[in-house]
Amino acid sequence: MHLTIHTLPIIRNEIRTYKSLIKERDKLINDYEAPLKTLRNKLLEVEEKLELIKSPGKGDGLGGFVQDSADKYNYLIDKKDQLKKSIVDYIQSNEKDYLEDLKHWDVRIATVEYYLNKMDALDRKFIEDFYYNLSKTQCMERYNITNNTSLYRKADNILSNLLKNN
């Protein structure tokens, strides 16, 4: 899904910010998933510890061993339940906003990609060089353009034609 852009200033801005949009989306994903990953790793550790402990009723009959194992086992079971609840609570508290924000960034990124893909190869190469890959001076040299005004005019003409033909 993408947005339809009708004006030159908006398409210019969206293309100019494309790389930043991707970084913002990646940060959003990381900020949401990092605490979830931490909780899941803690849960995995607890589950592994539980696997290593013998069941409380299977001690060797030497008194303290069974009680210590039972206490540790019960503590880990409680910890496992707490972690599962924390994961569910985290998802319930954050997922709706996260998915809304993610959709927002995904649509903006998809919009830029839609318009970039509608360009012919030479125009797209110029726009990418102009906005992302080269300095303005390098861009002028590469495309044999003598002044800044002509450079910006060329970019605007490409984008204006793209909007007209869309």
Q: Is the confidence at residue 58, as pLDDT, over 60? A: no
Q: 86: closest CA among 53, 26, 46, 49?
A: 46
Residues 6+ apart with CB under 8 A from 112: 14, 15, 18, 21
DSSP H or E stretch at residue 61: none
DSSP state of 120: -
| pLDDT on residue 55 | 53
Gap between the terminal Cα atoms of the chain: 15
User: pLDDT-derived band of residue 50, with 50, 70 and 90 as boundaries?
Assistant: confident
9 or 70: which carries more pLDDT confidence?
A: 9
Q: Is the confidence at residue 19, as pLDDT, over 80? A: yes
In 53-130, which ranges are continuous DSSP H helix? 64-118, 121-128
- Which amino acid makes up residue 63? G
pTM value?
0.78
Rg of the chain taking only CA atoms, in angstroms: 28
Q: How far apart are CA 144 and CA 10, in angstroms?
A: 27
Give the pLDDT mean for 28-39. Answer: 96
Mean pLDDT of the chain: 90
17 touches 98 (CB < 8 A): no
Residue with tokens 């508290």: 93
